[in-house]
Structure 1
Amino acid sequence: MIRIGTSGWRYPEWRDGFYRGIPQRRWLGHLARHVGTIEINGSFYRLQPPSNYRKWAAETPDGFLFSVKGSRLITHHKRLRHIEDALQTFTSSLALGPKQGPILWQLPSTLRFDEPVLKDFLAALPPGRHAFEPRHESFRTDAYFSLLQQHNVAHVVSDAPTFPCIEAVTADFAYIRLHGHDELYISSYDDEQLDGWARKIRDWDRDTFVYFDNTMKGAAPDNAQKLAQRLDVPLASHT
């Protein structure tokens, strides 16, 4: 299973391009007919009520999957420490049903690898798929990879000009975030770059989630569809 999509969907910058002629209330459904998955970003900034998740699930085709970005209260404010209550509150709010994909845990760039802290955090995670995106070079270590492997948590392979791209596959699925290779959140991926990512995904030979986060000038939907074509990935609405 390979799912390719975008990080978020509420972008006014897409209004005159990908969303031309589409009212804002229909943006999610429109995008979901062109990609197989979407990352929910709003969950990072504030706790979403279960009714929001149910609404988003209802607006997407059968077979569609969402990834959900974990709360910044856990990753950025508590910095993975003393998170039991916050984690329970966050995970109990999720109401996507069968459309629930992995939970993404994105770390702040100032957070260094701390083996005991990460070990406790991974042990506290509820069942299901989880993906971990560090943004500090200190995570490029076998001790980090080994911990993720023990818990079947995917290391997020992130492509960006401002934080390290650590290529490692640590779980029975892979998770990729493409933030823009040359300009963060802006630059489009050209044919050669898309061909390169397609080769990596084929070589990894496992379930894979790919999210284009180069959203600021509208490249993400087009890049997602072009990568899906290279990998012969059908739309969720066609499954």
Structure 2
Amino acid sequence: MIYIGVTGWGDHDSLYATGTSSGDKLKEYAGHFPIVEVDASFYAIQPKRNVEKWVKDTPESFQFIVKAYQGMTGHQRGEIPFESKKDMFEAFRLSLQPYQQANKLAMVLFQFPPWYDCKRENVTYLRWCKEQMGDVPVALEFRHQSWFSPQLKEQTLQFMENEGWIHSICDEPQAGSGSIPTVLQPTNQKKTLVRFHGRNVHGWTKPKEGNWRDVRYLYKYNKEELREWVNHVNNLHQSSEIIYVLFNNNSGGDAAGNARQFIEMLGIEYQGLAPRQLDFFS
């Protein structure tokens, strides 16, 4: 099976009827796509009531890819409100329970920052993370090029396979050490994740002025680029039972449109989506 969606559900205005409240957007989103990435969990470990609402607002077959909390991946933006890493991981695992109880947790995504390079202490920490997550499916996405350097690429992939990490394969700008190449190799026979970040090379590095999020993911994939990925995804599907595809190129609002286009190009018709609201004047 190939599941396609986007990151977050709040900023994709093309999907929603005029006047849709923020609290109702996920319900409408689930009428278009069968999966979503929860990015709110990166900024704060979500209270149980939030997760229970999201689970309730989506159809039985809907799946969530939950982004790991920032303190777990070393981003350290602001104060981390936990006495220890172990406490942090325990709180995060508890927040996953409503997804798990509803059988709606596809995986947790650990996305490490651009400065997280390939060295022994970081490999050791990855092993520790995997141990803390127990039997929760976990995906791993790097941002530092060293993990896939010619001398370390095969070791990195073998490590991920041995430790049980799902490979998060990226399409992103090639902008030096803070970006990774597209490595089309699954590390898990059950699941593989693909994330489209766009190809805006000039916007990829943090600008000196303005909000970098306004430009970093400013990119619209054209048909030729998506057609190339139709072949890639079909090939990946031969080695991995389920492929999850997420479009993150939304600085200009292009993610949802590209995702729907990709679904059409793959000839997929999803069953069990939520009923869509009608807006006759949109």
User: TM (normalized to structure 1)?
Assistant: 0.90
- For residue 61 of structure 2, the aligned residue among 57, 60, 63 is 63
**In the alignment, structure 1 residue 3 sits paired with structure 2 residue 8:** no
- For residue 172 of structure 2, the aligned residue among 160, 175, 188 is 160
Secondary structure in 2 matching 1:38: strand
Aligned residue in 2 for 1:181: 199
Identical columns (%): 26
**In the alignment, structure 1 residue 39 sits paired with structure 2 residue 37:** yes
Answer whether contact 1:66 1:101 (CA < 8 A) is retained. yes
- Using the alignment, how far apart are the partners of 1:166 and 1:83 within structure 2? 31
Secondary structure in 1 matching 2:91: helix
Alignment of 1:63-212 (within 5 A): 63-77=61-75, 83-94=85-96, 95-96=98-99, 97-114=102-119, 115-140=123-148, 141=152, 142-161=154-173, 162=175, 163-167=179-183, 168-172=185-189, 173-182=191-200, 184-205=216-237, 206=240, 207-212=242-247
- Using the alignment, how far apart are the partners of 1:221 and 1:63 within structure 2? 20
Q: Which runs of 4+ in 1 moved over 4 A?
A: none
Aligned residue in 1 for 2:79: none
- Using the alignment, how far apart are the partners of 2:19 and 2:270 within structure 1? 19
Secondary structure in 2 matching 1:123: helix
1:129 Cα deviation from its structure 2 partner = 1.5
- Using the alignment, how far apart are the partners of 1:199 and 1:10 within structure 2? 30
Answer whether contact 1:159 1:181 (CA < 8 A) is retained. yes
Larger-gyration structure (1/2): 2
Question: Which residue type is aligned with residue 160 of structure 2?
Answer: L
Q: Deviations over 1:28-84 (max 9, x none)?
A: 111111111000000000010111111011111221101000000110257xxx733
- Using the alignment, how far apart are the partners of 2:181 and 2:19 within structure 1? 36
Answer whether contact 2:35 2:64 (CA < 8 A) is retained. yes
- Using the alignment, how far apart are the partners of 2:199 and 2:75 within structure 1? 28
- Using the alignment, how far apart are the partners of 1:61 and 1:45 within structure 2? 26
User: TM (normalized to structure 2)?
Assistant: 0.77
- Using the alignment, how far apart are the partners of 1:6 and 1:61 within structure 2? 17
Answer whether contact 1:62 1:236 (CA < 8 A) is retained. no
Unmatched runs of 5 consecutive residues or more in structure 1: none
Answer whether contact 2:34 2:273 (CA < 8 A) is retained. no
- Using the alignment, how far apart are the partners of 1:224 and 1:195 within structure 2? 12
Aligned residue in 1 for 2:50: 52
1:118 Cα deviation from its structure 2 partner = 2.3
Question: Which residue type is aligned with residue 150 of structure 1?
Answer: N
Answer whether contact 1:33 1:235 (CA < 8 A) is retained. no
- Using the alignment, how far apart are the partners of 2:273 and 2:44 within structure 1? 33
1:143 Cα deviation from its structure 2 partner = 2.3
1:22 Cα deviation from its structure 2 partner = 4.2
Secondary structure in 1 matching 2:52: helix
Secondary structure in 2 matching 1:204: helix
Question: Which residue type is aligned with residue 190 of structure 1?
Answer: N
1:236–1:28 Cα change, 3 Å: farther
Answer whether contact 1:41 1:69 (CA < 8 A) is retained. yes
